[in-house]
Amino acid sequence: MQNLPYHTRAYHSRLSVKIYYNEVTMRLLLVEDDYKIAAAIKRGLSQESFAVDVEYDGESGFGAASTLPYDLIILDRMLPGLDGVEICRKLRDEKIHTPVLMLTAKSQIKERVEGLNAGADDYLPKPFSFEELLARIRALLRRPKETQSDILTVGDLSLNTTTFAVERQNKSIQLSNKEFALLEYLMRNEGRVLSKENIIEHVWDFESDILPNNVEVYMGYLRTKVDKPFKKPLLHTVRGFGYKIEP
């Protein structure tokens, strides 16, 4: 089947999903360009009652991952075409939050951080034991299905919790650390009225000498940067109750 065009193989994969879905608990995608490693992983996982589809290059791997409903993706970092980091980043950009376990021969901290920042959920350096691979897969599958994206959006405002980039109408907004933390908390609670006490508890630590008036000051800072340069305000005061963010 590997010699068939991708869309033809995707069609056959959909058929196999229908055939096996009631018999197998979880369906996994393995993207690995080393045929021997791929065959060994597929054989071991199949013996553990997983259904495993295999792709051997980045383009086919991304096509399968973005088209079919997998429970988990095992993704090699170094691939022909798109590499694992690019695939992971593209999946997250398309709001596909399937758990990703990244495999790599590169075990340096910098390489691992790059993969995790691209959206990978876990990282396993080569060589590894099959028992550890299996344990990590099962740990990821136990996590809740729905996870929040690294990018929060409210109206035309976006905030990236990984890169700390904030943009509105494609214009970059520079925030201090505390302003960023305050905006993130508001955006994670879009539409909810948050009291000054709520904000202090979640944005400042217990040792901070912070008063309710300080919240007003920082909300003013945010309004100056997030609202005033634009036509429609996103930050709203609910008198007597607190603040909220919504379009």
| Domain-wise residue ranges, the chain | 6-141, 151-245
Tens of pLDDT, residues 30-39: 999 999 999 9
User: Whole-number mean pLDDT of the chain?
Assistant: 83
Asked if domains 6-141 and 151-245 share a fold, the reply is no
CATH 2.40.30.110 is held by the domain 151-245: no
Task: Give residue 149's pLDDT band: very low, low, confident or very high (50, 70, 90).
Answer: low
Residue 1: is its pLDDT beyond 70? Answer: no
Tens of pLDDT, residues 83-113: 999 999 899 888 888 999 999 876 667 777 7
Classify 6-141 by CATH class. Answer: alpha beta
Task: Give residue 206's pLDDT band: very low, low, confident or very high (50, 70, 90).
Answer: low
Residue 228 near residue 180 (C-beta atoms within 8 A): no
Contacts 24+ apart (CB under 8 A), 148-155: 148/188, 149/92, 149/95, 149/97, 150/92, 150/119, 151/92, 152/184, 152/187, 152/188, 153/187, 154/187, 154/190, 154/234, 154/245, 154/246, 154/247, 155/232, 155/234, 155/246, 155/247
Computed from CA positions of residues 82, 84, 86, 87, in that sequence, does the dihedral angle turn out positive or negative? positive
pLDDT of res. 40: 94
Residue 26 near residue 53 (C-beta atoms within 8 A): no
Least confident interval from 24-33, 38-47, 68-77, 189-198: 24-33
Least confident interval from 64-68, 126-130, 161-165, 206-210: 206-210
